[in-house]
Structure 1
Amino acid sequence: MKTSEILFTLTRTLWSPKKLLKSSVLRNTIVLLGGDASARIISLVALTITVRSLGTASFGVLVLAETYAKLLDRIFTFQSWAALIRFGSMALGEGKPDEFRGYIRLGYTLDCLSAITGAAVAYFVAPAVGGLMGWSDEIVIACRLYSFLILFNATGTSTGILRLTDNFSMLAVQRFTYSLIRIAGVMTVTLYHGGLISFLLAWLLSECAGYIFLNLCAQYVISKNGWGSWWSSTSRLPKKPFITFAIWTNVTSTIDIPVKFLDVFFVSYFVSVDATGIYKIFQQVSHVLKKPTEPLIQVLYPHFSNMNVHSRPRHLLRSALKAVLALALVAFATATVLSASSPIWLPQIFGPVFRKYVLEFTIFMLVQAYAVAVTPLSPLIVARGLVRENFLIQAAANTAFLLCIWILGSKFGFVGVISAIGVHAFISSSLRLLMINKNFNSGDRAV
């Protein structure tokens, strides 16, 4: 498909209300958005209470601990959900339920092994990381406590099962439930005048409870669909393709660590621990832009995979381009409104200190708006089977990010870190567009 054809199909079908309303992508996205929006509102209230109670310094410690645990979790936790969707959809489509049970067993095995390994490594390397970053003993202890989160995040296969079977309402309920537990914990700690460790435990336990709930939902779906006794499946699986796909998607996810997690560490290193707390608030507010796209991406990947299996490249590309343009319109409009009004509401909600960071907040929101707009490009590439190519794109973009953040962060502090994030988003999206154009013009469907 030529570039001119791509643009034509995009403009011709972009605003088709009847098709949109009938679309399973839109329907499932709305379900997830409903749960995610309510969960985010509750979580934002919990965050505000935490910041007001602890102050930016202690809150910065909590942010570093949470980021550290999720960084190690990202490194060691396999993305088994992606492999389950890809190979599980094929097994079910070919009428092989026992083979699907085998993939469930293989996925859970990878989940459990990676969770145990990740938690152990996170706990024992915390002092070394703290020494490298110049952290206090308080930060190291907080990081070790939060490392227990990784043990409970053996949820990749469960997530894949819920997405593959269109049980997105359960994912929405899971997010809402976990946010309720968090705010209940935070309010209890506030009532009893708890300190940093008490708030940390409230955050930690709420996330662990959310992971447990997610696994229970998946087991219910497995039982309901007659896939029980998956642990005793005797199906002779071609394990190598599944594991290879899981490894590559995990490596691709891991290579994205710099822009996902290290920005927080660089803020603490180049600016201060207090600034880390302020930066976390920026991130949380930007979730107004970013988080609505997460349900969309969760829905788009299995949708794109199914379209790719049924040899519908023109429809596949059209769906992706429509998503990019729609997200761009919404994201930049929202970012503009939030940035223009930030001198009023930002210090009122989070504290007077935020008056000094209005410029940084504005730049951050515009960068995030661009990053949000181009997010559908990644699941499109993965659905086409271009996992290795996606990895190379991420590697190039993140290498540029690390170079930019070290140079710009050391010279310009906050603004330098944010600018490096913008460089990453531009490079990764440009390379993905080039890859997509090459892949679709070749006329070969990747498998």
Structure 2
Amino acid sequence: MLTKIIRQAGILLSGNLLASVLNFLSVAISLKALGIESFGQVTLLQAYILVISLCFNPQAWQGLIRYFSIERDKAGLIVLTLKYDLICAVLGTCLAIGCAQFYADSFKLSEHSEILQWSSLYILFNQTSVAIGVLRYQERYKALALQSIISAVLFFGCAVVGHWKNLGVSYFVTTYLITLGLGVVFIQVLCGSYVVSILKSKNSATEALHGNWKKGFNRFNFTVHMTALADIPVKQLDNILVGAVVSVGATGAYRVIKQIATISTKVTGPLNQVLYPEVNSLLAEKAYRNVKSAMLKIIILLLIPSLVVVAFASISTNYWIPMLFSEELLVYKWHIIIFLLVHAVATAFTPIHPIFLALGYVKRLFIITLFSNAILCVGILLLGQQLGLLGVVIAISIQYLITIVFKLPQILRRLAKENDESITLHT
């Protein structure tokens, strides 16, 4: 199992690492071109679109993969998922356009309200549940890797042009969202022929969707969607909270700190993508010991190199921060070091998240995610006012700790229990 996971993750990893490095460089170029204050404005404007996009992106690919493996009516699954995505897309776009002026006025960004409204159209196109579900189900991980590479390459080119031409906030906001959108179009095109062929072969089996089966599928997708909503604070809403509680300039610094840490996320992201379907297969075979063994091995394999990289980066901050970004960012040197250390530990425990979901703890996942992110928001509001950006870093550390403490013991207990019962039944 571990060998297969590493091989498949490696395909995505190669693409994601390249994309991550390019995005890292794009942020560095953008900061140099705009300065930390204007870069903070870019971050706040982008965060508005991305937060609403996340709210109305149901992540229904997880349900698609789960039910593709056990149900024959793939056409019915795709139709239901497309309807869910379309409703969310329209509602999200309308909300973003309607609230854009109020948001811009709140952060004294009124001059950019019109571009914010136009940028809201990104939400309409960023509905990828069917595309991601189909490509992952078919194990076409190279295609998914290419999506991030295409977006990263295009935005890197745009950032270089923006720096060269001395372009402003609106340019960097729109080009970032446009390049993300082109990546979405790419995977939609790749899965298009398969989806069309499935829909053409749709038959009376679709009637089976009416009843408990359909309710189960919709209930699963709705719960996953609610969990994704609960997890938004740690993904994008934190940028907005930092801008509101600390300052616009601090938002720019915080965006850079997160971008630095994102490189490790690009390593673990592919791992999650291949681990989830693989764990589902092993659980169906009642191979509980294999799941536990792979999880612990992956945690160790991630923890050791992560800590080594953080140690090296911490020692050399006075050199690479001004070289890559600017002297202004050295004020936040210790914030960066602390965040990298905490993030490295949290990154090592990444395997617990897909395993927790695969074990069927959908409702518990929602409660844990909601609780930990509520703590994050409260922590940013309280500690951010008292300690500035350092308080924000502490709040994120608490959120990471809560997530690990609530998930890992439950996973270990469940796997041990199921393994014992499985052995008893076979003796």
Tell me the TM-score normalized by structure 2: 0.92
Shift of 1:192: 3.7
Shift of 1:130: 4.5
Cross-structure match for 2:167: 194
2:397 is aligned with 1:416: no
Larger deviation, residues 108-117 vs 381-390 = 108-117
Distance in 2 (CA, whole Å) between partners of 1:410 and 1:325 is 37
- Within-5 A mapping of 1:306-385: 306-385=281-360
Q: Deviations over 1:16-71 (max 9, x none)?
A: xxx75xx2211111000111111122222222222211221221111111111111
User: What amino acid maps onto 2:189 in structure 1?
Assistant: L
- Contact 1:33 1:172 survives alignment (8 Å): yes
Shift of 1:233: 7.5
- Contact 1:65 1:146 survives alignment (8 Å): no
Cross-structure match for 1:16: none
- Contact 1:51 1:59 survives alignment (8 Å): yes
Residue aligned with 1:371, SS: helix
Q: Determine which of 19, 29, 38 is the counterpart of 2:18.
A: 38
2:414 is aligned with 1:434: no
Cross-structure match for 1:285: 260
CA gap 1:151/1:230 in 2 versus in 1, 3 angstroms? farther
- Within-5 A mapping of 1:60-139: 60-91=40-71, 96=72, 99-130=73-104, 133-138=106-111
- Contact 1:162 1:221 survives alignment (8 Å): no
Residue aligned with 1:194, SS: coil
- Contact 1:112 1:154 survives alignment (8 Å): yes
User: What amino acid maps onto 1:240 in structure 2?
Assistant: K
Larger deviation, residues 40-49 vs 355-364 = 40-49
Residue aligned with 1:52, SS: helix
Cross-structure match for 2:135: 162
Cross-structure match for 2:155: 182
Shift of 1:265: 1.7
Distance in 1 (CA, whole Å) between partners of 2:55 and 2:404 is 23
Distance in 2 (CA, whole Å) between partners of 1:162 and 1:191 is 38
- Contact 1:381 1:436 survives alignment (8 Å): yes
Shift of 1:244: 0.7
2:4 is aligned with 1:24: yes
Residue aligned with 1:292, SS: helix
Residue aligned with 1:389, SS: helix
Residue aligned with 2:335, SS: helix
**5+ residue gaps in structure 2?**
422-427
Shift of 1:248: 0.4
Cross-structure match for 1:150: 123
Cross-structure match for 2:424: none
Residue aligned with 1:90, SS: coil
User: What amino acid maps onto 2:30 in structure 1?
Assistant: T
- Contact 1:105 1:230 survives alignment (8 Å): no
**5+ residue gaps in structure 1?**
1-18
Shift of 1:228: 5.0
Q: Determine which of 227, 241, 263 is the counterpart of 2:198.
A: 227
Cross-structure match for 1:207: 180
Shift of 1:144: 2.9
Cross-structure match for 2:250: 275
Distance in 1 (CA, whole Å) between partners of 2:47 and 2:203 is 37
Q: Deviations over 1:219-267 (max 9, x none)?
A: 24546xx535267886122321111111101111111122222321222
- Contact 2:93 2:124 survives alignment (8 Å): yes
User: What amino acid maps onto 2:93 in structure 1?
Assistant: A
Residue aligned with 1:37, SS: helix
- Contact 2:245 2:381 survives alignment (8 Å): no
- Contact 1:174 1:213 survives alignment (8 Å): yes
CA gap 1:380/1:116 in 2 versus in 1, 3 angstroms? same
Distance in 1 (CA, whole Å) between partners of 2:325 and 2:7 is 35
User: What amino acid maps onto 2:119 in structure 1?
Assistant: Y
Q: Determine which of 114, 133, 144 is the counterpart of 1:171.
A: 144
- Contact 2:242 2:380 survives alignment (8 Å): no
User: What amino acid maps onto 2:120 in structure 1?
Assistant: S
Q: Deviations over 1:335-358 (max 9, x none)?
A: 221122111101111111112111
CA gap 1:438/1:281 in 2 versus in 1, 3 angstroms? same
Tell me the TM-score normalized by structure 1: 0.88
User: What amino acid maps onto 2:109 in structure 1?
Assistant: S
Distance in 2 (CA, whole Å) between partners of 1:233 and 1:416 is 58
Shift of 1:181: 1.7
Q: Deviations over 1:374-427 (max 9, x none)?
A: 221111011011100111111221222223222211110110000000000101
- Contact 1:289 1:369 survives alignment (8 Å): yes
- Contact 2:15 2:149 survives alignment (8 Å): yes
Of all paired residues, the percent bearing the same amino acid is: 28
Distance in 2 (CA, whole Å) between partners of 1:333 and 1:429 is 21
Distance in 2 (CA, whole Å) between partners of 1:196 and 1:400 is 32
